[in-house]
């Protein structure tokens, strides 16, 4: 095998390895896309600091659905 043929062979090997890694990376990216409902909350704890006895404390927690399916929720105290 000539020196030129050896070089060509190495270039081909490198090309095949690069194609393999790029295809693997593409598959991983596809897998990371959100499928189904996905719940995102801006905060999970609300501190009202100090209130006088008898005050009604109320807070609304915002929920985002960043998925591609409807998000269904139920809330139970405790």
Partner 1 sequence: MATFDKVIPPGGEGKITLRIKTDKYQGSIQKTSSVYSNDPKKKVIKLTIKGLVKVPIYVSPHYIALYGKEGQNVTRVVEVSAKLDKPLKLIPVEFNLAEKLTYTIEEIEKGKSFKIKFTSTPSSNQPFRGFLKLKTNYPEKPEFTIWIRGWIQKKIAPKVKS
Q: Could you tell me the smallest distance in angstroms from the CB atom of residue 31 to partner 1?
A: 14
Indicate the residue among 3 and 57 with the shorter CB distance to partner 1.
57
Indicate the residue among 3 and 78 with the shorter CB distance to partner 1.
78
Q: Could you tell me the smallest distance in angstroms from the CB atom of residue 44 to partner 1?
A: 6
Residues that bind partner 1 (CB under 8 A): 36-39, 41, 44-78
Indicate the residue among 5 and 72 with the shorter CB distance to partner 1.
72
Q: Could you tell me the smallest distance in angstroms from the CB atom of residue 2 to partner 1?
A: 57
Kind plus residue range of the DSSP H or E element containing 32: helix 3-32
Long-range pairs, 57-66, Cβ under 8 A, ≥24: 63/39, 64/39, 64/40, 65/37, 65/38, 65/39, 65/40, 66/34, 66/38, 66/40
Q: Are 57 and 51 in contact (CB under 8 A)?
A: yes
């Amino acid at each position: 095998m000539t020196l030129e043929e050896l070089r060509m062979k190495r270039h081909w090997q490198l090309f095949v390895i690069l194609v393999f890694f790029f295809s693997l990376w593409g598959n991983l990216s596809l897998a990371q896309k959100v499928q189904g409902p996905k719940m995102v909350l801006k905060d999970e704890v609300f501190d009202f600091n100090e209130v006088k006895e008898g005050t009604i404390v109320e807070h609304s927690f915002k929920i985002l659905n960043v998925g591609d399916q409807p998000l269904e929720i139920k809330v139970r105290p405790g």
